[in-house]
Amino acid sequence: MNASQGLAKPAHTGRLASILLHCPCMSTSASPPRAARLATQAHFFVNGMLFATWGVHVPTVRQQFGLSEASLSWLMLAVCIGALISLTQVGGWVARHGARQVVLLGGLLIALPLAWLLWVPAYAMLLASLFLFGLASGAFDVAMNAEAVAVEQAYGRPIMSSFHGFFSLGGLTGALLGSLAAATHTVPWLHLGGSALIGFAMVWLASQHMLPLPAASATNEDQAGFRLPHGTILLLGLLAALGLIGEGAMYDWSTLYMVKELDSPQQIAALGYGAFSGAMAAGRFGGDWLRGRLGAARTLSLSAWIAAVAMSATLAIGHPLAALPGFALVGLGFSNMIPVLFSAAAKVPGVTAAHGIAGVSGVGYLGFMLGPPLIGAIAHATRLSIALLVVAVFSAIAALLTHRALRAASR
């Protein structure tokens, strides 16, 4: 679920901050490790693809098990709890054993639950499978981001945004494959199993080219676990959470919204998710250029307003032909929110870059994981189209708080 997820999702815990501060990297005077960069891009891509594969099959799971929105919300919460447990514990393991072992085990344990998702005989086992999916996703996310920081340091210039872009590109690919599978009447379990097998094969092949970072001894900070940020870092983290609540909602609920509320066929509904992920990727690949011309505050404010207005208009129109470009604009709006906030966190006076980014992403990730269950609870009490207004409301709040937060970060 990139920074990663989305987000592709950047480093999430205080433990990871220790890894970022102490991991040994190649000298910036050496030749850039291009194979390691490609490997890390592949990991971000697979993470996005497998997350999208789960997202486009939410309606499939709902239909096969006869679930209500409330029951689906418990499934989302199982993913959330698994990921949060993993994020608070896995940093020390990465420090002790290196990123490669965690990437391999995490990739395997992401793929397995997807492969057997439609074969489980009972709802309780479905909950357990998605808990494992979340647990593995958090571990994989921490390890691949630790590797990404090492590769960026080896290059000696900013390249992190491109990794985030590959997470979104993976999401787009997963959505398109889901649409193709629905259009060709491929049985869902075959699509899930095939995606899981291909995804883990890519993870295994790419892991052979990761930087050979030696394992480090766990520090006192590793043992202390995650501590809630405060002050400016907390404010930036809350902004990240507002944006990631919307992003998580789009990942998990956009396809179901188009199927249930707009009566879209599965192949068209999957394209809504694809439009969102594709625009996210495009926005991230062009984000550094935009920020250089508008500045951080204007970029963040404009991005949040685009997401708020686009989501409001899409829900008001309530037609599949409006949902596709609408979701694309929502993705474009969300694409640069997190990179701008992480950049600001790295410049907060008195806070190291690694600790700032880890603190903001730790708070933000709570939003990413708790957003989908929140949407499901509201949808159960009202309608899904009303629940998704949360995305627009929180984006507008983020836009209004942008200048205050970035002024505090620059003091």
Instruction: Count how many domains the chain has.
Output: 1
Q: Is residue 136 part of a domain?
A: yes
- Using a pLDDT cut of 70, give the percent of the chain over it: 82
Highest-pLDDT range among 32-41, 69-78, 196-205:
196-205
**Residue 101: CB partners within 8 Å, gap ≥ 6?**
none
pLDDT tens by residue, 243-291: 888 888 887 788 888 988 898 887 788 788 788 878 888 888 887 778 7
Q: Is residue 18 part of a domain?
A: yes
Q: Is residue 218 part of a domain?
A: no
User: Could you tell me the CATH number of the domain that includes residue 127?
Assistant: 1.20.1250.20
Q: Is residue 162 part of a domain?
A: yes
From residue 144, alpha-carbon distances to 104, 270, 283, 330, 374 in Å are 10, 27, 21, 26, 28
Confidence at 224, pLDDT banded by 50, 70, 90: very low
pLDDT tens by residue, 178-218: 888 888 888 888 999 999 999 999 999 999 998 875 554 44
Q: Is residue 219 part of a domain?
A: no
Tokens matching residue 322: 């409006």
Q: Is residue 107 part of a domain?
A: yes
State how far the Cα of 400 lies from the Cα of 316, in Å rounded to an integer: 22
Q: Is residue 8 part of a domain?
A: no
Burial class (CB in 10 A: 0-12, 13-18, 19+), 292: exposed
Is residue 12 pLDDT above 80, yes or no? no
In the chain, the N- to C-terminal Cα span, in Å, equals: 33
pLDDT at 7: 39
Containing structural domain, residue 289:
14-213+225-410
Q: Is residue 7 part of a domain?
A: no
